[in-house]
């Protein structure tokens, strides 16, 4: 049975998921650390002194979340699903199946 193939597929899924998770976590905690330790920078006004850096970064984080998810869904639809289907087709039916 294609255990190695499954292991490879699983590793690839956690790699892609892990990378995207890392991007989100780093972006978010970067923001939180900025807010926690450098309030002055977070409060600095930009765009003709009309809005603070903190507000712009916060809005950017809210936009980033669905964008990362869209990237993931695209990857999964194009690359992950066909690989899963290929393994499913190879999977023996009946008593050997988990």
Partner 1 sequence: MSESSLGEPNVAAIVSFIGFVLITLAVTYWAARRTRTSAEFFAAGGNVSAAQNGLALAGDYMSAASFLGIAGEVALKGFDGLIYSIGFLVGWPLVTFLIAEPLRNLGTYTFVDVVAFRLRQRPVRIAAAISTLAVVSFYLIAQMVGAGNLVHLMFGLSYELAIVIVGAVMLAYVLFGGMIATTWVQIIKAGLLLLGATLLAILVLAKFGFNPLAMFAEARDQLGADVMAPGARVAKPLEAISLGLALMLGTAGLPHILMRFYTVRDAKTARRSVAYATSLIGWFYLVTFVLGFGAMVLVGRKAIIAVDKGGNMAAPLLAEVLGGTGFLGFISAVAFATILAVVAGLTLSGAAAIAHDLWGHVLRDGKVEERQQLKVARYATIGLAVVAIGLGLLFKGQNVAFMVGLAFAIAASANFPALLMSMTWSRFTTLGAMSSMLTGTAVSVVLILLSPTVWVDLFKFKHAIIELKNPGIFSVPAAFLVGIVVSLVKPEPASVQGFKAAQHRMHLGPT
Burial label for 80, CB within 10 Å (0-12, 13-18, 19+), is: middle
Binding residue for partner 1, selected from 4, 45, 79, 82, defined by CB under 8 A: 45
- Does 66 help bind partner 1 (rule: CB under 8 A)? yes
- Does 11 help bind partner 1 (rule: CB under 8 A)? no
Q: Which is nearer to partner 1, 14 or 79 (CB)?
A: 14
Does residue 20 contact residue 71 with C-beta atoms inside 8 Å?
Answer: yes
- Does 65 help bind partner 1 (rule: CB under 8 A)? yes
**Could you tell me which of 57, 66, 67, 68 has the C-alpha nearest to residue 19?**
68
- Does 95 help bind partner 1 (rule: CB under 8 A)? no
């Amino acid at each position: 049975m294609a255990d190695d193939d499954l292991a490879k597929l699983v590793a690839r899924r956690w790699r892609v998921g892990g990378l995207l998770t890392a991007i989100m976590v780093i972006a978010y905690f970067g923001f939180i650390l900025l807010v926690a330790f450098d309030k002055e920078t977070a409060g600095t006004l930009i765009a003709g002194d009309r809005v603070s850096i903190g507000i712009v970064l916060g809005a950017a984080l809210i936009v980033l979340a669905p964008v990362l998810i869209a990237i993931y869904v695209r990857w999964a639809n194009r690359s992950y699903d066909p690989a899963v289907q290929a393994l499913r087709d190879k999977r023996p039916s009946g008593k050997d199946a988990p």
